[in-house]
Amino acid sequence: MTTMSRAEITTPEVLSGESVVELSLRPQRLAEFIGQTKVKESLRVWIDAALARREPMDHALFFGPPGLGKTTLAELIARELGVNIRTTSGPALEKPGDLVGTLTNMREGDILFIDEIHRLRPIIEEFLYPAMEDYRIDIRLSEGPKAQTITMPIEPFTLIGATTRFGMLTAPMRARFGIVERLVYYPNEDLEHIVLRSAEVMKVEVDPGGAQEIARRSRGTPRVTNRLLRRVRDYAQVKADGRITADVANAALTMLDVDEFGLDDNDARILKTIIEKFDGGPVGVSTLAAATGEDATTIEEVYEPFLVQNGFLQRTPRGRVATPHAYRHFGYVVPTRDQASLF
């Protein structure tokens, strides 16, 4: 069985060594992409319009929690348009020169995909503005006040950006995207379809009960769904002749400490800390991070969105508050004090 800590099993982030496995499970056409129906319908229109006009598609921005398919959609758009895609990320771009070679070698209609685009340095953003609007780049030949700059035309291209923190994008950058789409957590029905499709690719037998059990513990995130499926497959291979039923899935996920809501050790530690050490809150995220030994940004980006959307946690002007649902889930007595006073 592949070694993985229990704290990692439900993270929506890509883990080391997962990229190759993820690629094998990704859909090959937009029609095969499960979920995000409204986004998919809109993209179909933009893609068909671009093909009909024989022009590059407008610049597009995808935002939402990690693991929902932003990178996959960018690759599917490139495949549907029949163009090449170059992939990079905001933290990887340190100076304009890092993009010059990529932009000058792109052919008309090609796609530049920038993940974590909210982390672009200001100098990179300024370099991209004329590229996005006028299809030209300004190249400095030297440094200093008398430095010469030459303007070089580039082929019309499409920039696709992805971010988990839409609010951190600068207003000028946001304004340059003609297409802005929000990806949301998946309902269990869509995740069940993903389990069954991935199981078919992986050549593992899963009955409807097993698919349902994996889906409802997947935190609304396809990346987590596929990771849980791989771990349950390992368990089934050793303990249950390779067939995943509801009982087998339940036993495997219980062993991994993933409960019926998809909460793992980290979620439990965050909620129990708020309840036990801070009387249910409110508590600031920095204080919570120090008390749990977790990074504040990780709490905000990875754990909080799921906990808030599923009613375990509330964000208030005074800090984070554990809900009555969280108290009941972990077997605590719900306090009788007026919760409204916390807001």
Query: Known catalytic residues?
Result: 70-71, 115, 164, 223
| 3-state secondary structure labels for all residues of the chain | CCCCCCCCCCCCCCCCCCHHHHHHHCCCCHHHCCCCHHHHHHHHHHHHHHHHHCCCCCCEEEECCCCCCHHHHHHHHHHHHCCCEEEEEHHHCCCCHHHHHHHHHCCCCCEEEEECHHHCCHHHHHHHHHHHHHCEEEEECCCCCCCCEEEEECCCCEEEEEECCHHHCCHHHHHCCCEEEECCCCCHHHHHHHHHHHHHHHCCEECHHHHHHHHHCCCCCHHHHHHHHHHHHHHHHHHCCCEECHHHHHHHHHHCCCCCCCCCHHHHHHHHHHHHHCCCCCECHHHHHHHHCCCHHHHHHHHHHHHHHCCCEEEECCEEEECHHHHHHCCCCCCCCCHHHHC
Torsion of CA 216, 218, 221, 227, to 10 degrees: -140
CB 57 within 8 A of CB 46: yes
Q: What is the largest CA-CA distance in the chain?
A: 73
